[in-house]
Structure 1
Amino acid sequence: MSTELLINATPYEIRIALVEHGNLVEFYLEQPREKGLVGNIYRGKVVRVLSGMQAAFVDIGLERTGFLYVDDVHITTDDFEKRLAKSDRPEDCGGGCCGNETPDSLCRRTPGLNIGDLLSEGQDILVQICKEPLGTKGARLTCNITLPCRNLVFMPMTDHIGISRKIEDENVRKQLRQDIETLRPAGTGFIVRTVAENATNEDLEADMEFLLHTWGEIQDIAVKAPVPSLVYEDLDITLRVVRDIFSPEVERVVVDDLKTFNRVQHFVETFAPKLQGRVHLSDSPIPLFDSHGVEMDINRALDKKIWLRCGGYIIIETTEALTVIDVNTGRYVGKSGLEETIFKTNMEAVKEIAYQLRLRNIGGIIIVDFIDMDEEIHRDEVFSAFKEAAKKDKSRINILRVSEFGLVQMTRKRNREDLRHMMCEPCLYCHGDGMLKSGRTICYEIFRKVEREAKKASADNVVLRVHQRVAAMMLKEEASTIDYLQGSTGKQIIIEPVKDVHLEKYEILWGRE
Structure 2
Amino acid sequence: MRQMIVHCEHETIQMALIEDGRLAEFAVERSREESVVGSFYKGRVVNVLPGMQAAFVDIGLKKNAFLYIDDVLHPHLEKQPKQKPSISQLLTAGQELTVQVMKEPRGGKGARVTTHFSLPGRCMVYMPTADYVAVSKKIGREAERARLKSIGEQLRTDEEGIIIRTVSEDEPLEFLSGDLEYLRKEWTRILEKAESSSAPALLHRDLGLLQRFIRDSFDPLHDELVIDSMLKGEETKSYLKETVPGMEPKVTYHTGGGPIFQAYGLDEQMKAGFARKITLPEGVTIVVDQTEAMTIMDVNTAKYIGGDNFEETVLKTNLMAAQQIARTLRLWDIGGIIIVDFIDMDREEHRQQVVSVMEAVMRKDRTKSFVVGWTKLGLLEMTRKKARENSSLPFAKPCVNCGGKGIVIE
TM-score normalised over the length of structure 2: 0.94
Distance 1:394 1:7 in 2: 19
CA distance in 2, matches of 1:11, 1:379: 48
Task: Indicate the larger mover: 161-170 or 269-278.
Answer: 269-278
- 8 Å Cα contact 2:372/2:383 also seen in 1: no
Is 1:208 matched up with 2:180?
A: yes
3-state SS of paired residue (1:53): coil
1:103 aligned partner: none
> 1:226–1:301: structure 2 CA closer, same or farther, 3 Å change rule?
farther
Residue 421 of structure 1 and its aligned partner are, at CA, apart by 6.0
Amino acid at match of 1:15: Q
State the match for 2:17 in structure 1. 18
With over 3 angstroms needed to count, the CA separation of the structure-2 counterparts of 1:249 and 1:393, relative to structure 1, is: farther
Cα pair 1:3 1:249 within 8 Å, conserved = no
Structure 2 CA distance for aligned equivalents of residues 109 and 432 of structure 1: 44
SS in 1 for 2:380: strand
The residue that corresponds to 1:296 in the other structure is 268
1:56 matched to 2:27? The reply is no
Deviation at 1:430, TM superposition (A): 1.2
Q: Does 1:227 align with 2:199?
A: yes
Change in 2 beyond 3 A, CA 1:199/1:10:
farther
CA–CA separation in structure 1 for the residues paired with 2:59 and 2:241: 35
**Does structure 1 residue 110 correspond to structure 2 residue 109?**
no
Which residue of 1 is the match for residue 330 of structure 2? 358
Q: Between the two proteins, what is the percent identity of the paired residues? A: 39
Distance (Å, rounded) in 1 between the aligned partners of 2:230 and 2:391: 27
Q: Distance in 1 between matches of 2:247 and 2:270?
A: 28
In 2 relative to 1, CA 425–136 (structure 1 residues): closer, same or farther, beyond 3 Å?
farther
Decide whether aligned partners of structure 1 residues 304 and 45 sit closer, same or farther in structure 2, where only a CA change above 3 A counts: same
Q: State which of 350, 355, 367 in structure 2 corresponds to 1:395.
A: 367
**1:204 counterpart letter in structure 2:** L
The offset of 1:179, in angstroms, is 1.9
Q: Which has the higher contact order (CA 8 A, sep 6+)?
A: 2
2:401 equivalent in structure 1: 429
Contact 1:130 1:142 (8 Å CA) reproduced: yes
**Greater CA drift, 397-406 or 288-297:** 397-406
- Unaligned stretches of 5+ residues in structure 2: none
The structure 2 residue matched to 1:140, chosen from 112, 123, 132, is 112
Q: Describe the SS at the equivalent of 2:350.
A: helix
User: Gapped runs of 5+ residues in structure 1?
Assistant: 76-97, 99-106, 438-503, 505-513
Asked whether the 8 Å contact 2:36–2:101 carries over to 1, the reply is yes
Q: Distance in 2 between matches of 1:140 and 1:65?
A: 9
Cα 1:50–1:331, aligned 2, differ >3 Å: closer, same or farther? Answer: same
Which residue in the other structure is 1:70 paired with?
A: 69
Q: What is the 5 A alignment of 1:258-269?
A: 258-269=230-241
**1:193–1:15 CA distance, 2 compared to 1 (3 A):** same
SS of residue matched to 2:169 = helix
CA deviations on 1:35-64 (whole Å, 9 max, x unpaired) are 111111000111121222211111100011
In structure 1, give the amino acid aligned to 2:188.
Answer: G
Match of 1:322 among 287, 294, 310: 294
> Of 331, 345, 353, which residue of structure 2 is paired with 1:381?
353
Distance 2:2 2:307 in 1: 36
Is contact 1:6–1:253 with CA below 8 Å preserved after alignment? yes
| Aligned counterparts of 2:65 and 2:58: Cα–Cα separation in 1 | 6
Partner deviation per Cα, 1:91-149 (whole Å, 9 max, x = no partner): xxxxxxx9xxxxxxxx9653421211211111111101111112221111111111111
Q: Is the 8 A contact 2:237 2:249 kept in 1?
A: no
Secondary structure of the 2:113 match is strand
Corresponding residue of 2:94? 122
| TM-fit CA distance, 1:284 | 3.5
Return the alpha-carbon distance in structure 2 between the equivalents of residues 49 and 178 of structure 1.
Answer: 41
Secondary structure of 1:235's aligned partner: coil
- Cα–Cα, structure 1 residues 177 and 377, in superposed 2: closer, same or farther, change >3 Å? closer
Matches within 5 A, 1:107-506: 109-111=80-82, 112-247=84-219, 250-403=222-375, 405-417=377-389, 419-420=391-392, 423-437=395-409, 504=410
**Backbone CA RMSD of aligned residues:** 2.0
- Bigger radius of gyration among the two: 1
Farther-moved stretch of structure 1 (356-365 vs 234-243): 234-243
- The AA in structure 2 aligned to 1:110 is P
Corresponding residue of 1:508: none
Structure 2 counterpart of 1:35: 34
Higher helix share: 1
The Cα shift of 1:413 comes to 0.8
Following TM superposition, by how much is the alpha carbon of 1:208 offset from its aligned partner in structure 2, in angstroms?
0.9
Relative to 1, partners in 2 of residues 1:138 and 1:33: Cα closer, same or farther, differing over 3 Å?
same
Report the Cα offset of residue 321 of structure 1: 0.6
Amino acid at match of 2:358: F
For residue 186 of structure 1, give the secondary structure of its aligned residue in structure 2.
coil
* Structure 1 SS opposite 2:27: strand
Over 3 Å counting, the alpha-carbon distance change for 1:217 and 1:239 in structure 2 is same
Give the paired residue count: 407
Measured after TM superposition, the shift of residue 275 of structure 1 is 4.0
8 Å CA contact retained: 2:276, 2:289: yes
| Structure 2 residue identity aligned to 1:392 | K
Q: Distance in 2 between matches of 1:179 and 1:425?
A: 48
Change (3 A) 1:16 1:420: closer
| 1:268 positional shift | 1.0
Bigger shift: residues 388-397 or 282-291 = 282-291
Per-residue deviation, 1:435: 1.3
Query: Could you say which residue in structure 2 is the equivalent of 1:8?
Result: 7
